């Protein structure tokens, strides 16, 4: 069950019975549902949905809303394959238990890339798209090493980049679901080409 559905249901029930619910209470309740469906969720989805702002999120640490200072577009692409977050997370956990050094090193590198992306988003940069694309591309390579990508996603990423994305990566737990690509503000070609291939997508303007 998606976090958006969980939060909508909690809000509807609270409204029905005249219960006032704070944003923190709403987040805590949504996380209880997330844990049922996803096992060990990060909490990113419910946080972004509840607060409706760009968020730099580290689990069990104070939430930090960020001010994005560069304009660009993100294309969101549906891979057409359903993936169950809990299964993907549990599989990675089991692999990490067998090779903790190998997987923890990759996870640490992903964390470092995330910090670099956050720094880049919050400062004006002349070479913004070039710098961001390098980080997104490297992030995808790390996710592939982590074992959460697959042939379908790899081929879609190649297609997105060939069609005109600066860089693309999987989003969420992996093995299916959605991918994101980085676009110039005026670039509509990628979406049109994907539509011709009958691949569902839409463009999100940032900020």
pLDDT in tens, 191-202: 999 999 999 999
pTM, two decimal places: 0.82
Please provide the distance, in angstroms rounded to a whole number, between the alpha carbons at the two ends of the chain.
28
With 90 as the cut, is the pLDDT of residue 37 above it? no
> CATH no. for residue 79?
3.30.70.890
Same domain, 119 and 156: yes
Over the stretch 147-165, which tens digit does the pLDDT of each residue have? 999 999 999 999 999 999 9
Q: How confident is the model at residue 57 (pLDDT cuts 50, 70, 90)?
A: confident
Render the burial of 91-113: b for 16+ CB within 10 Å, e for the rest. Answer: ebeeebeeeeeebeebeebeeeb
* Statement to judge: residues 180 and 86 lie in one domain: yes
Sheet of 72-78, strands arranged across? 168-170, 178-183, 72-78, 201-206
Higher pLDDT, 43 or 72: 72
Mean pLDDT (the chain) is: 93
Percent of the chain with pLDDT over 90: 75
Tens of pLDDT, residue by residue over 105-117, are: 999 999 999 999 9
Domain shared by 103 and 137, yes or no: yes
Confidence of residue 51 (pLDDT cuts 50, 70, 90): confident
Question: Residue 173: helix, strand or coil by DSSP?
Answer: coil
Residues 97 and 165 in one domain: yes
Q: Residue 34 has what pLDDT?
A: 85
DSSP-H helix ranges across the chain: 3-16, 23-38, 44-51, 85-98, 100-121, 128-146, 151-163, 189-196
| 46 and 77 part of one domain | no
Domain carrying residue 21: 3-65
CA–CA distance, 152 with 139 (Å, rounded to integer): 18
What the block records as the tokens of 160 is: 């997105």
Collapse the DSSP code of 140 into the 3-class scheme (helix H, G, I; strand E, B; otherwise coil) and give the result: helix
Q: Are residues 100 and 60 in the same domain?
A: no
> How high is the pLDDT of residue 18?
94
Q: Given this model, what pLDDT does residue 1 score?
A: 53
Between CA 9 and CA 16, with CA 10 as vertex, the angle to 5 degrees is: 85
- Asked whether the predicted pLDDT for residue 45 surpasses 70, the reply is yes
């Amino acid at each position: 069950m998606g976090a958006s559905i969980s939060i909508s249901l909690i809000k509807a029930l609270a409204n029905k019975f005249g219960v006032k619910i704070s944003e923190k209470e709403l987040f805590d309740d949504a996380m209880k549902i997330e844990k049922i469906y996803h096992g060990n969720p990060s909490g990113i989805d419910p946080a972004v949905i509840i607060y409706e702002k760009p968020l730099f999120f580290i689990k069990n640490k104070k939430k930090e809303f960020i001010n994005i200072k560069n304009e660009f577009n993100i294309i969101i692409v549906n891979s057409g394959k359903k993936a169950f977050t809990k299964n993907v997370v549990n599989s990675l956990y089991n692999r990490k238990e067998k090779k903790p050094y190998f997987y923890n090193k990759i996870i640490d590198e992903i964390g470092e890339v995330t910090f670099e992306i956050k720094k880049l988003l919050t400062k004006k940069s002349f070479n913004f798209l070039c710098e961001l694309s390098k980080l997104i591309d490297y992030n995808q390579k790390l996710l592939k090493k982590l074992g959460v990508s697959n042939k379908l996603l790899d081929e879609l990423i190649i297609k997105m980049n060939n069609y005109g994305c600066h860089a693309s990566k999987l989003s969420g737990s992996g093995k299916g679901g959605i991918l994101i690509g980085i676009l110039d503000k005026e670039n509509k070609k990628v979406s049109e080409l994907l539509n011709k291939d009958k691949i569902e997508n839409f463009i999100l303007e940032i900020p």
